[in-house]
């Protein structure tokens, strides 16, 4: 009998509300399916994922997640079944749409797991509400509306605030809390638009109630278990993705706990869920009353958190349940002896803290509500809440080592109180600062409605910090107090900053690891999953082979995404292959790297110097690998070296050289490699002098940055002055870099160097010219416009730089080709964003190669080849994806500062076809035949090639609509266009046009200072109206190129890669 | 803060700080894995004579409500807590746990590595221990422990806690008349039966067959309680005489005594089951229940005589969780359908049993 084939749909690009948790879930699902002997076909447009590795599924399709694209793949692969509940909301919605389009029936595909009707019922507010009422479960009073007026009518019988929740959206897009009829009208209008079924719920607010979640599993035999419950520190009103979440609940009595547990089981049974399900409750703080807020009949962000919090692999067990197995027959992978039918019990506490992108978007609206805004999260495990909380806070990688201190001391009490009432990402820090100022818990509770329990806990931490600070005067820190702080989850650096002097562990930094065993030590467990518990007994079992520590990259944020997790996982796998025992240290609960079967030892801790050192010493490791964990890991190099921790791979000297501008420049000078002229400035005055010397425009940025944070192109003295006004002052340790800005073609390489030979699987070029962050550019492989001579030069230079820097492993270099010359912009001695893409496009596992080099192997002894590998006969195009709709107030124009949250890949036989798939995957389409394109082009770019672009748009059947300046320019060029007023010219003006959705695409590239407020408002309006807005003519040109031609049929990654293998032979 | 010491019979020492209740607790050291339900556990008569360790590290967060107490007073010999919440936060809280433990004179040790203790108990098995609070008590703890271990007995434990319903009054509800044999009964059992309209008469563990029959019950429930079921030989004999005369339903200790009465054997588990997450497989109506447990002894499933059939087993370790008589109205379960603390998956069993009564 032929093997049954199962189709798994992934969740697509990382966006706010849908992050790496579905990579983790998808990988577990694929593995579980293959364990059962099934053939797995996986579709996901996100190339940075582990799930899209050819090792994970039998056929991987990096194709757009659309009904049309899925139908082509289904027609080609003829899967027997589809597993819809592991690809987040995207995967779920696609399954629903495929069924609605008749595709499921046409190709006779069986839907596994939770029935489609359940999925629809849980998403359809009205049916859901009716069902809950039918089974006697309480739901808030509400109305389902499909138009604004019905919502307003309902509101007249209720009191504000009310909550608006659009149906079928991610992370609550378009929803929110409204306090007045005007707000209700506005929110409802956008919310209805965001909903694919044009439906929203308006309901009474449960503001201030406790928010509690239960993760439940049910099998077809009606067995139910609770994997974990969780309590949000932020009461109802803040999206759970933006809440600080604690597992298990802390303020619920057993009666409360069991009341909600029983309700959870009632709900999951009534809905006939088969697999995982998340249920959100509001629990009244003053009486035994609850309401059901929401049910997600699929794995989710919360189930990822629950899995990592307990060690129970929810996605894997859900998959087995979907295949018809029951909980009492599935083996328990943690203990190895018992069954999956049991409820984990914890003997520790887990805290999840969201990671928001506000550090990159200083102008964003930072208020938290029902619209999720965080990009990722850090989790802390500790025996006490305090320790878990401090680990989560430190793990954000925002340099918060303590709860008090920092800049909050400068805030007025009024300002602090304001954000207790109207929460922002800084609320808990504001609470801590107020506690430090002696304010009482009752008062803070009254302002914030945060349960007193948490405030008491914060007060304890604040008191500890105060005591350490008070000891400052006494000189020597009190060792007892230091010990208390270490046990309470503080880092040495944090304690030192409080005490004002260096402190130590007062003993060896190892031997205090605790096991996560799902059973509170009742049974001996096999899972090699640990956390640090300072001052307690050690349970670390030495790994079977020589250990090597892989340092992870922490929470997902803009500039450091899932791609680094991809590299860490591959490093771990390569280590295992090489006979070593991989030890992974990371604190991101969403990721594959924090699955305990990826490594021989998983240490769930923030990847800080204290913890990495402890991991290294406790496992008696040969060394620590920093090159895969992004800048977070690289930044540890100096401190780890100081503590005598062996760094393997590129060692500290090379890590330092690539970051120390002057050393790097000296190296380039020795090699005769050009760089855009520039120098490091130690003061603002020096920066001004350098800029004048170089001539404007210049690129300014602080050194040691990630994702181009604080980087700007500055065109004149005035802009430089305003940059200086807003940037943190440079210091001798971290100077400001001032470079000449060259607007040329940007080229990027990822290479592996073993000390002698170099391997360059391929060279990327960017669609957008230099000046737009590489993470936000469309990247193309193989190159389309780089000459063979130039490629040779790139290889030479890459080789020379790798040698000069002493690289042993990966190096990523970004170049600009300008006026026929090659200039180097930056070199990173580490894995990069493009590593997964080049690995997938070429089939060359460069992370494995780099890992083996770090262990002492040579490229010539590996199967990958050396030098620049031959070009493939297909193209891949990476298109960035943004989450601007969820980030009110953020400027969308692209520049040196990275703004995208994720990416998709297009692969096709032709470049244009790959571009087209990339754009479609990213959700951008070019209207044709009567589509309306709003154009406003900056004066600087009203050039002949822009005219050509406009003509091509018209030739595709589009109607151009232009603002006055652009209209005049088009008219002069003889291109027909409709005229529309600037905002200042009065209505009907350009904003009206957008708000009415009277255009299908916006091209607006007017950049420069914020004075050009009109353009900013145009771009924001487009985002709010869900109209694609391109801010670079290079992107627009690529879009036209893409839609002038067709793309080819889908092919699996395995098929593409076999081309490479054939070519190689 | 008073110094405190937990000393295990094998010499293992845990030093921590104590509450205000000075003195020494002597008993078996056991651990409870529930993450909530400390008030119910501390007042659960089945913990009489035991030093109870909470594996969940943060205890006392929601205070003491008195509403969920299973007995009028704390029943444990001593308590072991990693971190005691100084200030509880819950609308039902009347008093902080620490203050209540002091009021109840329960010697308590705080701040020790409870996971290391749990691993020790798991590996060694349940073990005699002394929990001493205060310098004076610590000084004599070793001698006390030696004396306790030498004379350790579970006899008398039931008598020490079966005193919550001494009036023998029937709470009339109009439904079936149920005699509930108190071997250290939990309030939740009385509550659950009454909620089902049963008229419950609680009679002590040494009540005779005649006295029981004098109430003309529709059925008899034998309660849970502390210690070894073989300690209550008199009640086992009484139950044997009642088999076939009146429907019998045993819970936990009651289940074990009923098994003995029917000719099965019981034995002591290495470290018992105490918590709210034990999976029980129903062999009659296939399915899994997550159940509340608190027992150190078990019915030997292999020893069930031919007229008994196992109805449920523990999915973790295969121990017997329930049996019934093949022909007579006699059945029992090892776990706690009344939960308190723990999940309510098995609560239906009381209703089902009442339903089955003639």
In this structure, what token pair is assigned to residue A932?
Answer: 């309306």
What chain B holds in terms of domains, given with CATH numbers, is 2-152 (3.50.30.20), 163-356 (3.40.50.880)
Binned at pLDDT 50, 70 and 90, residue B151 comes out as: confident
Does B275 contact A at CB distance below 8 Å?
Answer: yes
Residues A90 and A165 in one domain: no
**Which residues of chain A neighbour B116 with C-beta distances below 8 Å?**
536-537
DSSP B57: S
Question: In terms of Cα–Cα distance, which of B14, B29, B4 is closest to B113?
Answer: B14
Domain of A410: which CATH number? 1.10.1030.10
Domain of A971: which CATH number? 3.40.50.1380
Burial class (CB in 10 A: 0-12, 13-18, 19+), B282: middle
pLDDT in tens, A970-998: 999 999 999 999 888 888 899 889 988 89
Could you tell me which residue, B100 or A475, shows the higher pLDDT? Answer: B100
Q: What is the pLDDT of residue B173?
A: 82
Range in A712-716, A764-768, A819-823 the model is least confident about:
A712-716
Q: What is the pLDDT of residue A1061?
A: 53
Q: Tell me the shortest Cα–Cα distance from B315 to chain A, in angstroms.
A: 7
Residue A537 is nearest to which of B85, B113, B343, comparing CB atoms? Answer: B113
pLDDT at A74 over 80: yes
Task: Determine the residue of chain A that is closest to B63 in CA distance.
Answer: A253
pLDDT at A707 over 70: no
Question: In terms of Cα–Cα distance, which of A922, A891, A889, A892 is closest to A906?
Answer: A922
pLDDT in tens, B169-204: 877 888 899 999 999 999 999 999 999 999 999 999
Residue B58 is nearest to which of A341, A349, A521, comparing CB atoms? Answer: A349
Which segments of A676-807 does DSSP mark as H helices, in order? 684-694, 717-726, 788-805
pLDDT at A161 over 90: no
Residues A492 and A525 in one domain: no
Residue B56 is nearest to which of A255, A342, A347, comparing CB atoms? Answer: A347
Domain of A694: which CATH number? 3.30.1490.20
Q: What is the pLDDT of residue A1010?
A: 43
Residues A494 and A518 in one domain: no
pLDDT in tens, A200-233: 989 888 888 999 999 999 999 999 999 999 999 9
Choose the final residue of a domain: A499, A531, A564. Answer: A499
Q: pTM (2 decimals)? A: 0.95
Residues A36 and A157 in one domain: no
pLDDT at A1065 over 50: no
Q: Would you call A253 and B65 a contact, using CB atoms and an 8 Å cutoff?
A: yes
Q: β-strand A712-714 against A698-702: which pairing, if any?
A: antiparallel
Assigned domain for A624 exists:
yes
Binned at pLDDT 50, 70 and 90, residue A1011 comes out as: very low
Q: Would you call B82 and A286 a contact, using CB atoms and an 8 Å cutoff?
A: no
Task: Determine the residue of chain B that is closest to A256 in CA distance.
Answer: B36
Which segments of chain B does DSSP mark as H helices, in order? 38-42, 97-103, 114-124, 135-151, 157-161, 187-195, 209-214, 233-242, 253-261, 348-356
Residues A93 and A53 in one domain: yes
Q: Would you call A287 and B91 a contact, using CB atoms and an 8 Å cutoff?
A: yes
Q: Can you give the length of chain A in residues?
A: 1065
Domain span at residue A942 reads 893-908+910-1044
Does B119 contact A at CB distance below 8 Å?
Answer: yes
Residues A449 and A585 in one domain: no
Assigned domain for A478 exists:
yes
Task: Determine the residue of chain B that is closest to A451 in CA distance.
Answer: B89
A 629-648 residues with CB < 8 A to B: none
Q: What is the pLDDT of residue A943?
A: 81
Cβ contacts below 8 Å, chain A against chain B, sum to 159
Task: Determine the residue of chain A that is closest to B31 in CA distance.
Answer: A522
pLDDT at B6 over 80: yes
A 713-742 residues with CB < 8 A to B: none
B 333-352 residues with CB < 8 A to A: 339-345
Does A204 contact B at CB distance below 8 Å?
Answer: no
Residues A163 and A189 in one domain: yes
Residues A177 and A52 in one domain: no
* DSSP 3-state of A62: coil
Mean pLDDT for chain A overall: 91
Does B285 contact A at CB distance below 8 Å?
Answer: no
pLDDT at A14 over 90: yes
Please tell me the distance from the alpha carbon of residue A585 to that of residue A594, in angstroms, as a whole number. Answer: 8
Please tell me the distance from the alpha carbon of residue A589 to that of residue A492, in angstroms, as a whole number. Answer: 24
Assigned domain for A728 exists:
yes
B 242-271 residues with CB < 8 A to A: none
Q: Tell me the shortest Cα–Cα distance from A376 to chain B, in angstroms.
A: 28
Reported ipTM: the value is 0.98
Q: Tell me the shortest Cα–Cα distance from B296 to chain A, in angstroms.
A: 14
For tokens 């001004």, the residue is A688
Q: Would you call A521 and B115 a contact, using CB atoms and an 8 Å cutoff?
A: yes
Cβ contact A396:A454 at 8 Å: no
Q: Would you call A520 and B33 a contact, using CB atoms and an 8 Å cutoff?
A: yes
Assigned domain for A769 exists:
no
Q: What is the pLDDT of residue A172?
A: 57
pLDDT in tens, B281-311: 999 999 999 999 999 999 999 999 999 999 9
Question: In terms of Cα–Cα distance, which of A348, A311, A393, A396 is closest to A532?
Answer: A348
B 296-325 residues with CB < 8 A to A: 315-316
Q: What angle do CA B243, B249, B253 make, to 5 degrees?
A: 105
Q: Would you call A384 and B339 a contact, using CB atoms and an 8 Å cutoff?
A: no
Q: Kindly provide the residue ranges of all beta strands, DSSP E only, lying in B9-91, ordered along the sequence.
A: 13-18, 23-32, 50-54, 58-59, 78-81, 83-84
Q: What is the pLDDT of residue A795?
A: 97
Residue B58 is nearest to which of A261, A327, A385, comparing CB atoms? Answer: A385
**Which residues of chain B neighbour A461 with C-beta distances below 8 Å?**
none
Choose the final residue of a domain: A205, A237, A253. Answer: A205
Q: Please name the helix (run of DSSP H) or strand (run of DSSP E) that holds residue A201, with its range, or none.
A: strand A200-204
**Which residues of chain B neighbour A520 with C-beta distances below 8 Å?**
31, 33, 55-56, 115, 118, 275
Residues A22 and A110 in one domain: yes
pLDDT in tens, A246-269: 999 999 999 999 999 999 999 999
Choose the final residue of a domain: A472, A499, A526. Answer: A499
Mean pLDDT for chain B overall: 96
Domain of A43: which CATH number? 3.40.50.20
Q: Would you call B122 and A451 a contact, using CB atoms and an 8 Å cutoff?
A: no
Q: Would you call B344 and A258 a contact, using CB atoms and an 8 Å cutoff?
A: yes
Question: In terms of Cα–Cα distance, which of A153, A146, A130, A239 is closest to A200?
Answer: A146
Assigned domain for A225 exists:
no
Question: In terms of Cα–Cα distance, which of A759, A750, A751, A754 is closest to A853?
Answer: A754
Across-strand partners of B331?
A: B249, B324
Q: Would you call A521 and B55 a contact, using CB atoms and an 8 Å cutoff?
A: yes
Assigned domain for A21 exists:
yes
Assigned domain for A765 exists:
no
Across-strand partners of A906?
A: A877
Q: What is the pLDDT of residue A170?
A: 54
Q: Please name the helix (run of DSSP H) or strand (run of DSSP E) that holds residue A618, with its range, or none.
A: helix A609-618
**Which residues of chain B neighbour A311 with C-beta distances below 8 Å?**
none
Q: Kindly provide the residue ranges of all beta strands, DSSP E only, lying in A408-520, ordered along the sequence.
A: 513-515
User: Active-site residues of B: which are they?
Assistant: 252, 336, 338
Residues A90 and A184 in one domain: no
Total structural domains within chain A: 6
Residue B316 is nearest to which of A342, A347, A514, comparing CB atoms? Answer: A342
B 32-51 residues with CB < 8 A to A: 33-37, 39-40
Residues A550 and A628 in one domain: yes
Residues A394 and A494 in one domain: yes
Count Cβ neighbours within 10 Å for each residue of A680-719 and write b for 16 or more, e otherwise: bbbebebbbebbeebeebbbbbbeebbbbbbbbbbbeeeb
**Which residues of chain A neighbour B191 with C-beta distances below 8 Å?**
none
Q: β-strand B13-18 against A678-681: which pairing, if any?
A: unpaired
**Which residues of chain A neighbour B33 with C-beta distances below 8 Å?**
345, 347, 519-520, 522
Does A158 contact B at CB distance below 8 Å?
Answer: no
Q: Would you call A257 and B116 a contact, using CB atoms and an 8 Å cutoff?
A: no
Q: A318: how many CB neighbours lie within 10 A of its CB? A: 30
Residue B287 is nearest to which of A222, A285, A287, comparing CB atoms? Answer: A222
Residue A341 is nearest to which of B115, B315, B343, comparing CB atoms? Answer: B315
Task: Determine the residue of chain B that is closest to A516 in CA distance.
Answer: B115
* DSSP 3-state of B279: strand
Q: Can you give the length of chain B in residues?
A: 358
A 262-321 residues with CB < 8 A to B: 262, 265, 285-287
Tell me the average pLDDT across B328-336.
98
Assigned domain for A796 exists:
no
Cβ contact A86:A98 at 8 Å: no
Residue A343 is nearest to which of B57, B116, B277, comparing CB atoms? Answer: B277
Task: Determine the residue of chain B that is closest to A454 in CA distance.
Answer: B89
pLDDT at A544 over 60: yes
pLDDT at A866 over 70: yes
Binned at pLDDT 50, 70 and 90, residue A1000 comes out as: very high
């Amino acid at each position: 009998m032929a093997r049954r084939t199962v189709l798994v749909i992934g969740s697509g690009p990382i966006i706010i509300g849908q992050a790496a948790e579905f990579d983790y879930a998808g990988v577990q699902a694929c593995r579980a399916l293959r364990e059962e002997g099934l053939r797995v076909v996986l579709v996901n447009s996100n190339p940075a994922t582990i799930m899209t590795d050819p090792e994970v599924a039998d056929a991987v399709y990096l194709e757009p997640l659309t009904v049309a694209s899925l139908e082509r793949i289904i027609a080609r692969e003829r899967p027997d079944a589809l597993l819809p509940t592991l690809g987040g909301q995207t995967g779920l919605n696609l399954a629903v749409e495929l069924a609605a389009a008749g595709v499921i029936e046409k190709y006779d595909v069986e839907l596994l797991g939770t029935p489609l009707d359940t999925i629809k019922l849980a998403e359809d507010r009205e049916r859901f509400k009716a069902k809950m009422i039918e089974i006697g479960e309480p739901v808030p009073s509400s109305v389902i509306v499909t138009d604004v007026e019905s919502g307003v009518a309902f509101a007249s019988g209720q009191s504000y605030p009310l909550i608006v929740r659009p149906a079928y959206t991610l992370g609550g897009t378009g929803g929110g809390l409204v306090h007045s009829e005007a707000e209700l009208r506005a929110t409802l209008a956008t919310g209805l638009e965001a909903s694919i079924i044009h439906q929203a719920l308006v309901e009474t607010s449960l503001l201030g109630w406790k928010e509690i979640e239960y993760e439940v599993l049910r099998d077809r035999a009606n067995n139910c278990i609770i994997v974990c419950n969780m309590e949000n520190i932020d009461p109802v009103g803040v999206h759970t993705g933006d809440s600080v979440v604690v597992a298990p609940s802390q303020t619920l009595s057993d009666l409360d706990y069991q009341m909600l547990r029983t309700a959870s089981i009632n709900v999951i049974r009534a809905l006939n869920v088969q697999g995982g399900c998340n249920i959100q409750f509001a629990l009244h703080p003053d009486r035994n009353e609850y309401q059901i807020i929401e049910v997600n009949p699929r794995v989710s962000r919360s189930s990822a958190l629950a899995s990592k919090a307990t060690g129970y692999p929810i996605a894997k067990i859900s998959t087995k349940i979907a295949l018809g197995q029951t909980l009492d027959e599935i083996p328990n992978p943690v203990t190895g002896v018992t069954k999956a039918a049991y409820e984990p019990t914890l003997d520790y506490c887990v805290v999840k803290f969201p990671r928001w992108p506000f550090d990159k978007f200083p102008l964003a609206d930072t208020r938290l509500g029902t619209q999720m805004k965080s990009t990722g999260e850090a989790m802390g495990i500790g025996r006490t809440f305090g320790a878990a909380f401090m680990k989560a806070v430190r793990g954000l990688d925002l340099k918060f080592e303590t709860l008090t201190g920092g800049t909050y001391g400068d805030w007025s009490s009024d300002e602090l109180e304001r954000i207790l009432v109207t929460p922002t990402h800084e609320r808990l820090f504001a609470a801590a600062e107020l506690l430090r100022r002696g304010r009482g818990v009752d008062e803070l509770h009254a302002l914030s409605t945060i349960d007193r329990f948490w405030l008491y806990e914060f007060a304890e931490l604040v008191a500890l910090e105060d005591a350490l600070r008070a000891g400052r005067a006494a000189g020597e820190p009190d060792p007892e107090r230091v010990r208390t702080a270490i046990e309470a989850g503080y880092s040495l650096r944090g304690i030192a900053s409080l005490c004002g002097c260096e402190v130590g562990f007062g003993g060896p930094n190892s031997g205090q690891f605790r096991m996560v065993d799902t059973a509170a030590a009742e049974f001996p467990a096999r899972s090699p999953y640990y956390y640090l518990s300072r001052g307690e007994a050690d349970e670390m079992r030495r790994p079977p082979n020589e250990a090597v520590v892989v340092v992870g990259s922490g929470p997902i944020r803009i500039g450091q995404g899932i791609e680094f997790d991809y590299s860490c996982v591959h490093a771990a796998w390569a280590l295992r292959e090489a006979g070593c025992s991989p030890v992974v240290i990371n604190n991101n609960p969403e990721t594959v790297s924090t699955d305990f079967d990826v490594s021989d030892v998983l240490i769930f801790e923030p990847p800080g110097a204290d913890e990495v050192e402890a991991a290294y010493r406790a496992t008696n490791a040969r060394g620590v690998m920093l090159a895969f964990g992004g800048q977070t890991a690289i930044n540890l190099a100096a401190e780890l070296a100081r503590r005598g921790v062996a760094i393997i791979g590129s060692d500290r000297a090379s890590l330092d050289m690539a970051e120390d501008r002057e050393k790097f420049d000296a190296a380039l000078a020795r090699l005769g490699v050009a760089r855009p002229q520039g120098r490091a400035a130690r003061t603002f005055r020096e920066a001004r002098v350098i800029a004048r010397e170089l001539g404007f425009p210049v690129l300014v940025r602080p050194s040691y940055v990630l994702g181009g944070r604080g980087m700007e192109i500055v065109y004149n003295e005035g802009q430089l002055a305003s940059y200086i006004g807003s940037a943190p002052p440079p210091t001798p340790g971290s100077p400001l870099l001032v470079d000449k800005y060259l607007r040329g073609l940007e080229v990027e390489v990822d290479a592996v160097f073993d000390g002698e030979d170099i391997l360059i699987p391929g060279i990327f070029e960017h669609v957008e010219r230099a000046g737009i962050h590489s993470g936000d550019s469309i990247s193309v492989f193989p190159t389309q416009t780089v000459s063979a001579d130039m490629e040779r030069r790139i290889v030479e230079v890459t080789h020379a730089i790798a040698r000069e820097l002493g690289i042993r492993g990966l190096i990523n270099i970004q170049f600009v080709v300008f006026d026929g010359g090659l200039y180097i912009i930056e070199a990173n001695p580490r894995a990069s964003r493009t590593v997964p893409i080049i690995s997938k496009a070429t089939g060359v596992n460069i992370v494995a190669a780099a890992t083996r080099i770090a262990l002492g192997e040579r490229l010539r002894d590996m199967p990958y080849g050396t030098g620049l590998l031959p070009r493939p006969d297909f193209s891949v195009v990476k298109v960035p994806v943004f989450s601007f709709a969820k980030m009110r107030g953020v400027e969308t124009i692209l520049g040196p500062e990275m703004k995208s949250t994720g990416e998709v890949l297009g692969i096709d036989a032709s470049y244009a076809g790959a571009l087209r798939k990339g754009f479609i995957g990213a959700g951008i389409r070019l209207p044709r035949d009567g589509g309306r394109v709003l154009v406003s082009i900056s004066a600087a770019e009203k050039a002949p090639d822009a005219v050509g672009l406009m003509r091509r748009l018209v030739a595709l059947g589009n109607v151009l609509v232009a603002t006055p300046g652009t209209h005049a320019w088009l008219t002069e060029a003889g291109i027909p266009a409709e005229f529309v007023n600037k905002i200042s010219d009065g209505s009907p003006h350009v904003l009206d046009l957008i708000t009415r959705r009277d255009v299908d695409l916006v091209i607006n590239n007017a950049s420069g200072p914020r004075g050009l407020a009109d353009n900013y408002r145009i771009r924001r309006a487009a985002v709010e109206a869900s109209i694609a807005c391109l801010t670079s003519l290079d992107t627009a040109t690529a879009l036209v190129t893409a839609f002038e031609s067709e793309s080819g049929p889908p092919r699996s990654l395995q098929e593409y890669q076999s081309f490479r293998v054939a070519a190689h032979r | 803060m008073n110094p405190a010491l937990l000393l295990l019979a094998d010499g293992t020492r845990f030093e921590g700080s104590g509450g205000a209740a000075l003195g020494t607790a002597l008993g078996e050291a056991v651990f409870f894995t529930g993450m909530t339900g400390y008030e119910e556990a501390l007042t659960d008569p089945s913990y009489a004579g035991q030093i109870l360790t909470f594996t969940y590290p943060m205890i006392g967060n929601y205070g003491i409500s008195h509403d969920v107490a299973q007995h009028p007073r704390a029943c444990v010999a001593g308590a072991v807590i990693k971190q005691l919440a100084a200030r509880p936060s819950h609308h039902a809280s009347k008093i902080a746990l620490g203050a209540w433990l002091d009021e109840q004179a329960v010697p308590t040790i705080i701040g020790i590595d409870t996971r290391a203790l749990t691993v020790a108990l798991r590996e060694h098995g349940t073990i005699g221990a002394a929990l001493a609070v205060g310098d004076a008590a610590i000084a004599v703890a070793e001698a006390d422990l030696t004396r306790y271990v030498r004379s350790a007995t579970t006899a008398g434990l039931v008598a020490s806690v079966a005193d919550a319903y001494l009036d023998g009054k029937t709470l009339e509800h109009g439904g079936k008349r149920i005699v509930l044999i108190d071997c250290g009964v939990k309030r939740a059992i009385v509550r659950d039966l009454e909620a089902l309209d049963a008229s419950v008469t609680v009679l002590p563990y040494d009540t005779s067959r005649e006295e029981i029959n004098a109430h003309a019950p529709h059925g008899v429930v034998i309660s849970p309680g502390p210690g070894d079921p073989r300690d209550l030989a008199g009640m086992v004999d009484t139950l044997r005489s009642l088999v076939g005369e009146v429907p019998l339903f045993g819970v936990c200790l009651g289940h074990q005594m009923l098994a003995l009465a029917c000719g099965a054997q019981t034995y002591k588990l290495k470290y018992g089951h105490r918590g709210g997450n034990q999976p029980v497989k129903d062999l009659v109506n296939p399915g899994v229940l997550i159940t509340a447990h608190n027992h150190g002894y078990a019915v030997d499933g292999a020893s069930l005589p031919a007229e008994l059939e196992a109805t449920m087993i523990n999915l973790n370790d295969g121990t017997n969780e329930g049996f019934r008589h093949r022909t007579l109205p006699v059945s029992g379960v090892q776990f706690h359908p009344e939960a308190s603390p723990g999940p309510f998956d098995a609560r239906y069993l009381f209703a089902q049993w009442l339903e089955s009564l003639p």
